[in-house]
Amino acid sequence: MNADVSGQGACALPPPVTPPARSVTSGAVAAPASNEPEPVAQPVARPAAGPDPAPGRGRLVVAVALLDERRRVLAARRREPPAYAGMWEFPGGKVEPGETELDALVRECREELDVEIEVGPVLGEVELARPGWVLRVWFGRITGRVPRMVDHDELRWLSVAELYDVRWMPADGPLVDRLHQVLAGSDTVGWPAG
């Protein structure tokens, strides 16, 4: 992510859900099953692929927990800024004005990893230390090309047993915990099927 957005933000994780996957191959995004916002545990706005959570006051940062066929997640190590260099994160970045969340996610994966992705259900979100800023993370998988280091100095596929072997960005911590629940089998999202 190219956003300096660490913090001990309050975690607002949704309950486990099994929404349909949204295929994304050429930047086109299938519409969600409903125009209704998804419910959340905390009062954090969650439009279904809309604009920033607090226009003019905050920013929405999007990221993806990319899973491979062995249910490992792709982690990316930051090289900058110096305060965050060496920390690990889910690939993603800021939603630009006029851009939908999922369009931003596809763009960021192209820019940071040079890959095409399929976006699955939401993993969760956290409020960031900056007022009005929210980090929202989806499940996803790579559908085109092999990831390469563009913005990061290392990429690593982590199994559930390896999730805590790296030093994650502080904002990603609650989402890594949620991911661990899913990958360890104590929770499920029903995606990808099989």
Is pLDDT larger for residue 151 or for residue 2?
Answer: 151
Residue 40 lies in a domain: yes
Domain total of the chain: 1
Angle at 61 between CA 152 and CA 146, to 5 degrees: 40
| pLDDT over threshold 80, residue 192 | no
Q: Could you give the CA distance from residue 150 to residue 162 in angstroms, rounded to a whole number?
A: 23
pLDDT in tens, 85-132: 999 999 999 999 999 999 999 999 999 999 999 999 999 999 999 999
Where in the sequence is the domain holding 149, given as residue range(s)?
11-183
Q: Kindly tell me if the per-residue pLDDT of 172 is higher than 90.
A: yes
Give the span between the Cα atoms of 20 and 10, in whole angstroms.
Answer: 27
Instruction: Give the per-residue pLDDT at 3.
Output: 53
User: Is 67 contained in some domain?
Assistant: yes
Note the pTM of the prediction, 2 decimals: 0.72
Quick one: average pLDDT of 169-194? 84
pLDDT in tens, 34-79: 333 322 222 233 333 444 444 456 899 999 999 999 999 999 999 9
Q: Is residue 43 part of a domain?
A: yes
In a domain, 160, yes or no: yes
Residue-level pLDDT at 174: 96
CA–CA separation, 183 and 71 (whole Å) = 7
What CATH number is attached to the domain comprising 63? 3.90.79.10
Is 116 within the bounds of a domain?
yes
pLDDT digits (tens, 9 = 90+) for 123-170: 999 999 999 999 999 999 999 998 998 889 999 999 999 999 999 999
Highest mean pLDDT among 16-20, 21-25, 30-34, 123-127 belongs to: 123-127
Give the residue-averaged pLDDT of 183-194: 70
Q: Is residue 1 part of a domain?
A: no
User: Do the domain assignments include residue 45?
Assistant: yes
Whether residue 2 lies inside any domain: the answer is: no
Angle at 80 between CA 147 and CA 52, to 5 degrees: 80
Q: Distance between CA atoms of 112 and 76, rounded to whole angstroms?
A: 9
